[in-house]
Amino acid sequence: MNFDLTEDQALLKAAVERFVSDSYGGDLEARRAARLDPRGFAPANWARLADSGVLALPVSAANGGLGSGRVELMAAMEVIGRGLVAEPVLDAAVIAMGLVDATADAAQIDRALAPAMAGDSLLALAHAEREARYNLAHVATSARPKGDGWIIDGAKTAVIAGGGADLFIVSARVSGATRDRDGIGFFLVPAAAPGVDRRSYRLADGSVAAEITLRGVELDAGARLAGGLAALLPVVATARAAAAAEMLGLMTLLFDTTLAYVKTRTQFGQSLGSFQVIQHRMTDAYVLVEQARSQVVRAALADDADFARAAAGAKAFVGDAALTVAHTAVQMHGGMGITDELVIGHALKRIRVLALTFGDGTAALDDYRRAA
């Protein structure tokens, strides 16, 4: 079987590589500067991603996006990982835009999706709650009718990219008990709406997340998106596969950087790479990188019926493998490996955040088991 990219897929990957080269160029100072922005990324880079069409990759052609397939998205996310890109492509484009794409009507596309694809606004999904423990059906935030509109009350935690979001997609319960799978709705809530309280904070990788509280937030009838939890599940599967692809890019960066280091760093008059124990560790890391690549490719090529299961399996395996490779890279570099002076520390911290996207490895494996 031929796993090579087609000409169009290769051109897309090359375009993302050009963005990484022009915006970052392997310069950690550029990444630090982007992270220091109050939003946690560089607005100029976000505009460039919009102009290049990267933000429109997950959005269907019917709604003005590029309607890319899974292979194209995975190829782009791997490059984004290898380039240590600070912009929240996974959180704002793949997850938030992906959910709006699947549930919005024409008016909501004009209101929310089109400006997001153009880079003029930032969307963030506000779904997780403190007591949920990765249970996607756990929604205590309530939505009650008021005239033609809605009143939202509740709180959301770990809203990734929420610190700079202009518009939240908030899950709220319109009927049923807290953990019922039915009775969940999704609502477009402006970050500046009266009754929305946002507390921003930095995650381990320097990105800006938020805790949000909603107290009597009044929304019009057009704020509610179509569908419920069932609409979110395909987005979760795509996000897991995309996170695995980004971690694969980070693993590749870690491995290549560490291999170059052990070849040149001398100890006791010879290079570190000449010691057999170091060779064994690097061989193990290489095997994990290639196994992770196989998992990502398998998920990208899975048919629709098996995709959610393949994505959950890829996320679980790649998350653990990426952390193992990152720890090996840190140990090879010594104390400097954990600092922000080297790409090693930046990549490790990003992997730690990605590994928890829509649940840790155990949660992903539970979904994999249930889908078997």
Give the count of beta carbons closer than 10 Å to the beta carbon of residue 157: 16
- Both 174 and 267 in one domain: the answer is no
- Both 103 and 143 in one domain: the answer is no
Q: Give the contacts of 341 (CB within 8 A, at least 6 positions apart).
A: 28
pLDDT at 111 over 80: yes
Report the CATH number that the domain containing residue 128 is assigned in CATH. 2.40.110.10
Residue 184 in any domain: the answer is yes
CB 113 within 8 A of CB 99: no
Report the CATH number that the domain containing residue 70 is assigned in CATH. 1.10.540.10
Q: Give the contacts of 11 (CB within 8 A, at least 6 positions apart).
A: none
Per-residue pLDDT tens for 38-87? Answer: 999 999 999 999 999 999 999 999 999 999 999 999 999 999 999 999 99
- Both 246 and 218 in one domain: the answer is no
Q: Give the contacts of 372 (CB within 8 A, at least 6 positions apart).
A: 309
Q: How many domains does the chain have?
A: 3
Among the three residues 117, 135, 158, which one is the final residue of a domain in this structure? Answer: 117
Quick one: pLDDT at residue 217? 98
Closest by CA to 131, choosing from 141, 122, 123, 121, is: 141
SS3 state at 270: strand
CB 248 within 8 A of CB 292: yes
CA dihedral sign of residues 272, 278, 283, 286: negative
- Both 170 and 259 in one domain: the answer is no
- Both 250 and 366 in one domain: the answer is yes
Least confident of 134-138, 276-280, 333-337, 348-352: 333-337
- Both 286 and 242 in one domain: the answer is yes
Residue 25 in any domain: the answer is yes
CA distances from 156 to 56, 151, 152, 223 (A): 27, 16, 12, 18
Residue 2 in any domain: the answer is no
- Both 107 and 134 in one domain: the answer is no
The predicted model gives 130-137 an average pLDDT of 94
Quick one: pLDDT at residue 267? 81
| 198 backbone dihedrals φ, ψ, rounded to 5° | -120, 130
Among the three residues 117, 148, 163, which one is the final residue of a domain in this structure? Answer: 117
CA distances from 352 to 32, 140, 167, 320 (A): 18, 27, 26, 10
Residue 45 in any domain: the answer is yes
Token representation of residue 3 = 């796993």
Quick one: pLDDT at residue 338? 82
What is the rounded CA–CA span in Å between residue 354 and residue 69?
21
pLDDT at 2 over 70: no
- Both 14 and 89 in one domain: the answer is yes
CB 99 within 8 A of CB 235: yes
What is the rounded CA–CA span in Å between residue 265 and residue 278?
12
Residue 112 in any domain: the answer is yes
Per-residue pLDDT tens for 207-258? Answer: 999 999 999 999 999 999 999 999 999 999 999 999 999 999 999 999 999 9
- Both 234 and 365 in one domain: the answer is yes
- Both 112 and 128 in one domain: the answer is no
pLDDT at 298 over 70: yes
- Both 320 and 236 in one domain: the answer is yes
Per-position b or e across 20-33, b if 16+ CB within 10 A of its CB: beebbeeeeebbee
End-to-end CA distance of the chain: 25
CB 67 within 8 A of CB 53: no
What is the span of the domain harbouring residue 355?
A: 230-371
Token representation of residue 332 = 């090879």
CB 193 within 8 A of CB 217: yes
Among the three residues 96, 117, 138, which one is the final residue of a domain in this structure? Answer: 117
Report the CATH number that the domain containing residue 316 is assigned in CATH. 1.20.140.10
Quick one: pLDDT at residue 7? 87
Closest by CA to 161, choosing from 117, 114, 205, is: 205
- Both 241 and 346 in one domain: the answer is yes
